[in-house]
């Protein structure tokens, strides 16, 4: 009997501009509010953008780094919403890493003072009515993938037990994304490494995912192999434009895959490390990848076949290849199977919202 036909529905509503120098073509001929990472935008690019926006730029706020917290989102909203209220057709333009882009995804929904924004973000609900402003995203790191997904991560650090929140309205996608590898040259080398590791995690998490399909698999495989090949090159040659471009491409491809599959177990395990140990997000995901790869080997021959193509070795051997590759980058993999407490944590996270996407979760 012939295998049943596979039917897929695919859509990513973000219009993507790609290529070195494309940022210099960005222009808006309507009101715009800018949120930019102070450390990510050079003076030259800031000057260029201000010249291109001209009188259409109605407000400019700087993100000074750190986590995208609920408190910071509220502060930015209080600063920018009055301007957006005066210009209801304004676009929100965000330039920076994942935290900057995630904050812009939140504040593009203009709320009134009576609508209790922090509580809304904690419950992941939108008030009605709410004004949704157009959103353009410009990543300056090669790793976030946020520019092509509808999710934004917020960290709730002002409650008794700090928590990671996922802000994910159905129409949370940006209208446009400008992915210019040249912008990543201002990214510090350690941050470049961690962002690329986040891309690798997005790619691998899309492969060992219950929501995987042939399209996401193709995107994720290309992304994973690019990171594995080019990240060591970048760490030896930080100014290598070919490596920067390859990693920016990997980030975009992995983000497009992850936009459909969502992330899985390694991400679920990463959040506690970020909150309790202040481990950067990419590294906090990467330390779990060999363990999770090993757990993914049993359930699905299709997943095994895909993982075997990452290093072009049998899937089971890929675990050790990945471990060695990470250790050469200064990452020390972790394993929860060595203790009863670790196994209990693993079981708990497998049943979490992200963990349930993992192909081997119960």
CATH code of the domain covering residue 140: 3.40.50.1970
Domain ends where: 146, 161, 182?
182
**DSSP states of 208-270 as a string?**
TBTT--HHHHHHHHHHHHHHHHHHHHHHH-TT-HHHHHHHHHHHHHHHHHHHHH---HHHHHH
Helices (H), 40-126: 43-53, 70-86, 98-107, 117-123
Cis before 40? omega within 30 = no
Statement: residue 195 has pLDDT above 90:
yes
Statement: residue 2 has pLDDT above 70:
no
- pLDDT average, residue stretch 184-201: 95
Q: What is the pLDDT of residue 1?
A: 45
Q: Which of 59-73, 103-117, 126-140 has the lowest mean pLDDT?
A: 103-117
- Through-space distance between the first and last CA atoms of the chain, rounded to whole angstroms: 30
- pLDDT average, residue stretch 60-76: 93
Which CATH number covers residue 215? 1.20.1090.10
* CA distances from residue 94 to 60, 172, 244, 320 in whole angstroms, order as listed: 10, 14, 21, 39
- pLDDT average, residue stretch 175-194: 95
Count helices and strands in the chain by DSSP H and E runs: 13, 10
What pLDDT digit, counting tens, does each position of 320-355 carry?
999 999 999 999 999 999 999 999 999 999 999 999
Statement: residue 23 has pLDDT above 50:
yes
Nearest 5°: CA angle at 171, between 167 and 174?
A: 90
| 3-class state of residue 179 by DSSP | strand
What pLDDT digit, counting tens, does each position of 215-237 carry?
999 999 999 999 999 999 999 99
- pLDDT average, residue stretch 271-296: 96
Residue 122 domain-assigned (yes or no): yes
Do β-strands 152-156 and 135-139 pair in parallel, antiparallel, or remain unpaired?
unpaired
Residue among 154, 151, 250 nearest 198 (CA): 250
Domain ends where: 164, 182, 200?
182
Which pTM was predicted? 0.94
Range of the domain at 151: 15-182
Considering its fold, how many domains does the chain have in total? 2
- pLDDT average, residue stretch 291-313: 94
**DSSP states of 292-306 as a string?**
HHHHTTTT-HHHHHH
Q: Are residues 158 and 40 in the same domain?
A: yes
Specify which residues 18 forms β-bridges with: 179
Q: What is the pLDDT of residue 4?
A: 56
């Amino acid at each position: 009997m012939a295998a049943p036909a596979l039917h897929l529905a695919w859509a990513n509503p973000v219009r993507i501009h790609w290529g070195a120098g494309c940022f210099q073509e960005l222009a808006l001929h309507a009101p715009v509010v800018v949120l930019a990472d102070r450390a990510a935008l050079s003076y030259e690019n800031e000057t260029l953008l201000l010249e291109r926006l001209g009188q259409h730029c109605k407000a400019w706020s700087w993100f000074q780094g750190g986590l995208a917290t609920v408190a910071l989102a509220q502060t930015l909203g209080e600063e920018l919403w009055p301007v957006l209220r005066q210009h209801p057709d304004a676009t929100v333009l965000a330039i920076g890493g994942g935290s900057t882009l995630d904050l812009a995804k939140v504040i593009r929904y203009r709320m009134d003072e009576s609508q209790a924004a922090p509580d809304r973000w904690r419950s992941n609900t939108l008030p009605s009515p709410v004004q949704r402003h157009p959103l353009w995203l410009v990543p300056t790191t090669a790793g976030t993938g946020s520019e092509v997904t509808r999710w934004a991560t917020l960290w709730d650090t002002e409650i008794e037990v700090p928590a990671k929140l996922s802000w994910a309205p159905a129409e949370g996608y940006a209208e446009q994304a400008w992915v210019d590898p040249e912008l990543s040259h201002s990214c510090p080398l350690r941050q470049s490494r961690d962002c690329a590791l986040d891309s690798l995690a997005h790619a691998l998490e899309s492969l060992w995912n219950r929501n995987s399909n042939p399209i996401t698999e193709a995107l994720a495989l290309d992304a994973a192999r690019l990171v594995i090949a080019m990240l060591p090159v970048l760490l030896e040659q930080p100014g290598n434009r070919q490596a920067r471009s390859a990693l920016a491409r990997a980030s975009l491809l992995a983000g497009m895959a992850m936009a459909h599959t969502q992330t899985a177990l390694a991400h679920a395990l990463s959040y506690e490390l970020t909150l309790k140990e202040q481990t950067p997000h990419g590294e906090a995901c990467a330390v779990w990848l060999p363990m999770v790869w090993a757990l993914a080997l049993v359930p699905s021959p299709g997943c095994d076949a895909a993982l075997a193509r990452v290093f072009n070795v049998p899937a089971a051997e890929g675990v050790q290849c990945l471990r060695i590759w990470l250790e050469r980058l200064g990452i020390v993999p972790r394993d929860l199977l060595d203790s009863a407490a670790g196994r209990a944590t693993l079981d708990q996270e497998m049943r979490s919202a992200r963990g349930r996407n993992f192909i081997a979760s119960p």
